[in-house]
């Protein structure tokens, strides 16, 4: 799976001579390699992320299972070892990662920072924030527990725009779109295209907009503005 699996699971499968088809996301594989390298160099590994998320559990396993996982920059232990290596779940925000680093630096003699945030995630957040400032309402499509989807919701609301988070088209409410000219849509990285298309088509049906178009700076960015002006 894209999130990866713990190192011990892979080792067990290899011992059993099981054929392994590794579909781990390249960015997650990169995080795993860095976690192992930091551990081998004697660094205490700190990971910013959801401690129960499969990706974080897998990356932490490459640090010998001794990684410290913090879920926010405010969630820090009082003390650290002399050498600290800082990583992030690939779907974390740059802002939270930088705040964490600034809080760790005074607590350790040596701090090695490796930005393991996925470039597509960072680009999607930035593009969504720009989109939110151009429309009157944002619809964010994705799982309720998806970290990167929740980050999209957060940046939209910080922009001061009415924002609704939906998982499927049935959750849309006609009342949201009354007297709205411009509607923006963004979606989490794992949201299927058919779900996004269904939401967009439903909004078209509600407002009968004259035109719609994609905007975004990467092929996998999913940001759509629907105009009925």
Which positions are catalytic?
55
> With contact defined as beta carbons under 8 Å apart, do 203 and 183 qualify?
yes
Q: How far apart are CA 198 and CA 11, in angstroms?
A: 42
Q: How far apart are CA 186 and CA 171, in angstroms?
A: 15
Q: How far apart are CA 214 and CA 206, in angstroms?
A: 19
User: Residue 169 gets which letter from DSSP?
Assistant: G
Structure tokens, 121: 């995630």
Residue 54 phi, psi (nearest 5)? -55, -40
Structure tokens, 78: 């009082």
| CA dihedral sign of residues 130, 132, 138, 144 | positive
């Amino acid at each position: 799976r894209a999130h990866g699996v713990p190192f011990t699971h892979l080792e067990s499968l290899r011992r059993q001579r099981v054929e392994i088809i590794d579909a781990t996301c390249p960015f997650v594989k990169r995080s795993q390699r860095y976690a192992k390298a930091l551990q081998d160099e004697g660094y205490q590994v700190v990971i910013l992320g959801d401690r129960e998320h499969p990706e974080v559990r897998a990356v932490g396993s490459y640090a010998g299972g001794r990684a410290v996982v913090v879920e926010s920059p405010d969630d820090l232990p009082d003390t650290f070892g002399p050498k600290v290596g800082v990583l992030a779940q690939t779907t974390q925000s740059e802002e939270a990662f930088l705040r964490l680093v600034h809080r760790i630096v005074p607590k350790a003699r040596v701090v090695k920072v490796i930005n393991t945030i996925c470039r597509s995630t960072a680009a999607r957040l930035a593009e969504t924030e720009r989109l939110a400032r151009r429309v009157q309402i944002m619809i964010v499509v994705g799982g309720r527990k998806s970290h990167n989807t929740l980050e999209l919701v957060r940046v939209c609301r910080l922009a001061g725009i009415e924002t609704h988070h939906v998982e499927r088209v049935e959750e849309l409410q006609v009342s949201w779109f009354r007297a709205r000219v411009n509607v923006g849509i963004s979606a989490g990285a794992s949201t299927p295209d058919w779900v996004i298309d269904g939401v967009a088509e439903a909004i078209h049906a509600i407002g009968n907009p004259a035109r719609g178009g994609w905007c975004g700076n990467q092929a996998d960015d999913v940001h759509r503005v629907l105009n009925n002006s």
